[in-house]
Amino acid sequence: MLTTPLPYHRQMVAYLRERLPSAWAHFASDVSDARYEEAQRLHLLQTTVALTRTSEPELYALADQVANKLGITVPVELYQGEDGPTMNAALYYSPRAARVVLEGAIQERLSTELLRAVLGHELAHHLMFSLDKGDPLHAFRLLASLVEHEATPTLIESLRLFQLHVEVYADRGALLVAGLEPTIEALVRVRTGLSKANPSDFLDQSRELLRKQGTGSRAWSHPEAHIRALALDHVATAESLDEAWVQGIIDGPVALEELDLLRRDALDQLTRRIIAWLISPAWFSTDAVKAHAELFYDDAPTPSPTPLTADDLESWGETVRDYLAAVLLDFVAVDPSIEPMPLLRADAVAEALGLQDRFQRAVNRHLRMTKRAIAEALQDRDAQLAQADVAVEDEHGSDDDD
């Protein structure tokens, strides 16, 4: 359960390594640098109180038990941060030590079992960032740097989702060492500051949110704790772990304005496939149409008869579906010499993709065609398209005879 990063982490690592090789090489090298190690140690000494094994023997005994359970072999170091009104804990990653900073009155307010869950969560961060030669850590730090220098919506969303998946992974460490109810109670109390919390009640609340508002961590006002509780419940109770289900409740239907790097790339590929299928009939692949396809991509999609279905759009939200309907509409009036056949072809593709209603609404709005005019134009659509295909075949046959 904790031997590999989550699928999202592996996908993002592969993406960043391929697309940004120089930046990747930089961030993959400096975490083990002696200067980085010294800077981190100095920061902790300046901002926290180092807790020693002599001064906190019981806390260290608990931390060592958790580390052993998780298979962490480097020494644990504990620090006390600011004594503020909120409880929190954080891991400062080093390949040489598992350094956890406790903040607020977390030791005084949480029971031993809840502290076990908190330490399990934080030390699981160390475990994860050590996996695959530190690749998840390199990806996290590279994304954070990209956001710091250019905070585009796509980069911000990429970092947000990566962080949330990191927390979901770390929760599994808490689950492994403390069990489901203490892990959820610790999660709720640390995030809210409540003096007590009922894990079963919180899970019921999370399930109700899921039923009423659907999946997706963007859909809820304060989503993270509920998403994490649902993911924990699934890991603890499912007969077989379904990572796709866990990722599904985090992502939800992907919106056009909330694309991360991975989803932007996936949408790019989906758009390319749809265009290639749309213009695959020989009569549609005119010079004007191919030139228009090049406005989308420098290397215009090669016409391909490979069909798609509504299932290919299952993970995409309403705004993405509107965008894809607009892409289909964009090819309707490109070449007047083949009208009205592009409208018929685009409508047939839209129907197969489950986009027909929104495509026809777009035609009504942007091409100023009434609903009656659209219906008349599409009458005997499939027969007309079949005739167009046959006509091209006959024409090519005649050319061969000549």
209 shares a domain with 274? no
Are 128 and 154 part of one and the same domain?
Answer: yes
| 91, containing H or E segment | strand 88-94
234 and 265 part of one domain? no
Q: 349 pLDDT exceeds 70? A: yes
The answer to whether residue 248 scores a pLDDT higher than 90 is: no
pLDDT, tens only, 47-63: 999 999 999 999 999 99
What value does the mean pLDDT take over residues 364-393?
A: 93
Tell me if 332 is assigned to some domain. Answer: yes
* Residue 169 banded pLDDT, cuts 50, 70, 90: very high
Q: Does residue 228 share a domain with residue 92?
A: yes
Do 246 and 286 lie in one domain? The reply is no
- Last residue of one domain, picked from the residues 229, 252, 275: 252
Check whether residue 133 and residue 16 sit in a common domain. Answer: yes
Number of domains in the chain: 2
Query: Per mean pLDDT, which range of 20-24, 100-104, 221-225 is the poorest?
Result: 221-225
Residue 1 is assigned to a structural domain of this protein: no
For residue 280, the enclosing domain spans 261-401
User: With bands split at pLDDT 50, 70 and 90, how would you rate the model's confidence at 396?
Assistant: low
For residue 297, what pLDDT is reported?
83
pLDDT digit string, tens, across residues 290-342: 999 988 887 777 889 999 999 999 989 999 999 999 999 999 999 999 999 99
User: Percent of the chain scored above 70 by pLDDT?
Assistant: 95
Q: What is the pLDDT of residue 399?
A: 54
Does residue 252 come out as left (phi exceeding 0), alpha (psi in the -120 to 50 range) or beta?
Answer: left
Q: How confident is the model at residue 37 (pLDDT cuts 50, 70, 90)?
A: confident
CB-based burial, 30-49: b 16+ in 10 Å, e otherwise: ebeeeeeeeebbeebeeebb
The reply to whether 274 and 152 lie within a common domain is no
Specify whether 131 is located in the same domain as 218.
yes
Q: pLDDT above 90 covers what percent of the chain?
A: 76
Contacts of 288 (CB under 8 A, 6+ apart): 334, 335, 337
Q: What is the pTM of this model?
A: 0.89
- The answer to whether residues 95 and 137 touch, using CB atoms and an 8 Å cutoff, is no
Same domain, 281 and 143: no
Residue 122: inside a domain, yes or no?
yes
Asked whether 105 and 87 are in contact (CB, 8 A), the reply is: yes
